[in-house]
Structure 1
Amino acid sequence: MDMGLNLKLFHVILVMTSIFKVTLAGWNTKNTLVIQNSFRSNANSLYVHCKSDGDGHDLGEHWLAAGQKLSWSFHLSFWSSTSYHCYVQWANKKKYFVAFNDSIYKCCDNNESLTWFVGNRALLALNQKKDGKNRFIIQLDWLDH
């Protein structure tokens, strides 16, 4: 092989190795997703049903009183296809939404913890950072039926 081809091959291998290391770093990290009932009234429990798309993992149906949380931990799939969808209902308020996917993970600065606060006005996703500088990253309005 000529020197130019060897150099190109070396660069390709170097780039692929870097990508693989970055992918493995996120893939091995344990992530936590939390759904919290942020309604002030206990007149109705918050109904929550979440499941993943990739492996069909169904977390089942849950009824959360005011202030209660549902949380679970998981690892990202190797192919960055980890996705959780949830359906929530409180009285006449109903919402089906993507609770976690690759885009949300990137928006969270590859952080390990994301909390959805389900309240009277909207659903808010909070990126909980280790340095304590939490920030809201998503707001979803209710669909009234």
Structure 2
Amino acid sequence: MIAETICSAVSAAGLGIAAITAYRKRFLAATRIAAYSLVPIGLVLTGAVEWAVDTAFSLTAWIGFGLLGAAWLLFLTTRAVERRSGGTRKAARAAAQREAVAPAASAPSLGQGATPAARPSAKKPKEAAGTGEDFSDIEAILKKHGI
């Protein structure tokens, strides 16, 4: 009963402010204020306010909200544990499969880990002429990737 009275008073005050705004020749703002001020009285007439008040003071509703919150916390906890332990079995299988496809993909292309077969053994005649450009590094990368 008191919630309906408060909503009606808020709507009446909003319509009064809209009338003053329209008097000042700000019709667009006045229309917007009138629209906002009609919402509370509309909620009263549809019964939404009565439902909200009944829900707010209902022990059963609060127990239901508590159970929903507990379920949400359980979901978050399982996600956090999953991330810390490395994911689900499906994710572990997918990671193992990715690793098997390209086991040396993260290894550096040149340096200590490179095999002697990956380095070019013979210089091309252009490089032997002394142009000063050494493309052996680039050739080794391209050979490693099969290009």
Bucket of the pairwise TM-score, normalised by the shorter protein = under 0.3
Larger strand share, 1 or 2:
1
Q: Which has the higher contact order (CA 8 A, sep 6+)?
A: 1
Q: Report the TM-score when normalising by structure 1.
A: 0.27
Larger helix share, 1 or 2:
2
Q: Report the TM-score when normalising by structure 2.
A: 0.26
